[in-house]
Chains A and B, each alone.
Chain A
């Protein structure tokens, strides 16, 4: 089976390469800012300043941290399985980067007399692609925890398996409602279909289910049982140090960016602005990134508000509340669309 993109226009290979480099570069630049933003916001939410010592306003904090990670000894326990132990962070990072490829940052523009879409690629299986890579990224966490040869890591990995399986179903089902309404799986198609009204209004149930399931999917509080610093000494990444640990951290933040991007695209109308404002094309990526930051801020806010759920609460919430809600949403959407 070949997967072909339906774009309706031709992009030369060098243009795709340039686009890939630009998108990756921008996101790679956002990632360290995000770590410092999270910690500064965390400080403010707790009545503190947060990091403000390194550089102006503490903005050079990530540089110091990267230097620190780089200078650390790449420790590997005796009981670990070497090859998989080293492979796991790579899997986590690569899948997170791969999911980035289909996030639409803007409409098709005319640059250098060519038609260029401001996104990596517009695949005709948008959400499926994201969930496929989310499914693989879970191997990174799972194998990392298992290959560490430590009980804390193993417990963390086991929790990951259960948690991700429970919440991926609800997350996918939450998007099915949108896909039914838009009638397309292409993410740019979904954005174009939101010209009249953003899907957050008709798909509010789907939006809430998606947000909650996403919190669990990206292992953030209150669903951060995978890491659970207080109980599992860091969960699956207990035995990782130095750059491998940084890779997991990078993957985690990248997943957050991807989920925020998907939520923006699918529920908040991507690059569209409300009240019939049609800005010039170069504003599109700024709009998308601003909306993504909105979601990321919300994720951080939630993290520093809610305590971690108990394991059985997490499971019963996923299967008894979220899944029926998501299924009901799909059912009602289907009935409304057909009728």
Chain B
């Protein structure tokens, strides 16, 4: 490119339509009204998208982080939790309380040396981050799919070991693959 820079060479003429007159404005308003009516009518044809919640529950994804579950070994029935308190250490909300006790040959609860004598999760503090699940070396605690945890008192939201070990009442539908 030779010669001095000419700024006007960069200017692009934008083609604009003339401003709409009254007749055109009215026509356009009428057309847009029709388009709006069509839009709302097509919503009616499509049908409602409402989930009627208490009767119809939203399905969750497989990796959904709901209420925790404690697990047992399927063959021996022993608890997987050895009371190491790593979950409690990892918990950012500080809602897990573990008190460990020694296993004895007559009184064997878990597969390891020790077991959790007390295992409580305060679900009113839990933030469902899933760090406890990540921290657990034995996969003893996992996040379940249950998300209906409302209760009437705060103390009812402190889940004990028995409640966490119990087979969860399967109430939450799971999303199928690719849904």
Q: CB distance A44 to B43 under 8 Å?
A: yes
Q: CB distance A45 to B41 under 8 Å?
A: yes
In the docked arrangement, what's the CA distance between A48 and B50, Å? 6
Question: Which of A72-80, A140-148, A285-293, A297-305 lines the interface with chain B?
Answer: A297-305
Q: CB distance A305 to B48 under 8 Å?
A: no
- Number of B positions contacting A (CB below 8 A): 15
Q: CB distance B44 to A305 under 8 Å?
A: no
Interface-centre pick from A43, A44, A49, A321 (highest chain B CB count, 10 A): A44
A306-B33, A321-B26 given; A45·B40 CB < 8 A:
yes
Q: CB distance B43 to A305 under 8 Å?
A: no
Q: CB distance B37 to A305 under 8 Å?
A: yes
Q: Which residues of A contact B52 (CB under 8 A)?
A: 49
Report which of B26, B37, B44 forms a contact with A44, defined as CB distance below 8 A: B44
Q: Which residues of A contact B36 (CB under 8 A)?
A: 305-306
Q: Which residues of B contact A304 (CB under 8 A)?
A: 40
A47 within 8 A of B: yes
Q: Which residues of B contact A48 (CB under 8 A)?
A: 48-50
0/1 per residue, B23-45, Cβ < 8 Å to A? Answer: 00010000001001101110110
Q: CB distance A301 to B48 under 8 Å?
A: no
In the docked arrangement, what's the CA distance between A235 and B142, Å? 56
Q: CB distance A301 to B50 under 8 Å?
A: no
B46 within 8 A of A: yes
0/1 per residue, A302-317, Cβ < 8 Å to B? Answer: 1011100000000000
Q: CB distance A43 to B48 under 8 Å?
A: yes
Q: Which residues of A contact B49 (CB under 8 A)?
A: 47-48
When C-beta atoms are compared, the residue in chain B nearest to A43 turns out to be B48
Number of residue pairs across A and B with beta carbons under 8 Å? 37
Q: Which residues of A contact B44 (CB under 8 A)?
A: 41, 44-45
In the docked arrangement, what's the CA distance between A43 and B52, Å? 14
In the docked arrangement, what's the CA distance between A41 and B43, Å? 11
Mostly, the B contact residues are helix
When C-beta atoms are compared, the residue in chain A nearest to B26 turns out to be A321
In the docked arrangement, what's the CA distance between A317 and B41, Å? 26
In the docked arrangement, what's the CA distance between A305 and B38, Å? 9
In the docked arrangement, what's the CA distance between A89 and B52, Å? 38
Interface-centre pick from B36, B46, B47, B52 (highest chain A CB count, 10 A): B36
Report which of B26, B33, B37, B43 forms a contact with A46, defined as CB distance below 8 A: B43
0/1 per residue, A20-53, Cβ < 8 Å to B? Answer: 0000000000000000000001011111110000
When C-beta atoms are compared, the residue in chain A nearest to B45 turns out to be A44
A220 to chain B, nearest CB (A): 15
In the docked arrangement, what's the CA distance between A47 and B50, Å? 7
A318-332 at interface with B (beta carbon < 8 Å) = 321
In the docked arrangement, what's the CA distance between A131 and B52, Å? 46
Q: CB distance B39 to A305 under 8 Å?
A: yes
In the docked arrangement, what's the CA distance between A48 and B48, Å? 4
Q: Which residues of B contact A301 (CB under 8 A)?
A: 37, 40-41
0/1 per residue, B47-72, Cβ < 8 Å to A? Answer: 11110100000000000000000000
Q: Which residues of B contact A49 (CB under 8 A)?
A: 48, 50, 52
Interface-centre pick from B39, B40, B43, B52 (highest chain A CB count, 10 A): B40
Q: CB distance A47 to B37 under 8 Å?
A: no
Q: Which residues of B contact A44 (CB under 8 A)?
A: 43-44, 47-48
Q: Which residues of B contact A302 (CB under 8 A)?
A: 37
In the docked arrangement, what's the CA distance between A321 and B23, Å? 10
Q: Which residues of B contact A305 (CB under 8 A)?
A: 33, 36-37, 39-40
Q: CB distance A47 to B39 under 8 Å?
A: no
B78 to chain A, nearest CB (A): 49
In the docked arrangement, what's the CA distance between A199 and B50, Å? 42
In the docked arrangement, what's the CA distance between A301 and B33, Å? 11
Residues of B within 8 A of A (CB): 26, 33, 36-37, 39-41, 43-44, 46-50, 52
Residues of A within 8 A of B (CB): 41, 43-49, 301-302, 304-306, 321
Contacts A49-B50, A306-B33 known; list 9 others, CB within 8 Å.
A41-B44, A43-B48, A45-B41, A45-B44, A47-B48, A47-B50, A301-B37, A305-B33, A305-B39
27 residue pairs from A and B, CB less than 8 Å apart = A41-B44, A43-B48, A44-B43, A44-B44, A44-B48, A45-B41, A45-B43, A45-B44, A46-B40, A46-B43, A47-B43, A47-B46, A47-B47, A47-B48, A47-B49, A47-B50, A48-B49, A49-B48, A49-B50, A49-B52, A301-B40, A302-B37, A304-B40, A305-B33, A305-B39, A305-B40, A321-B26
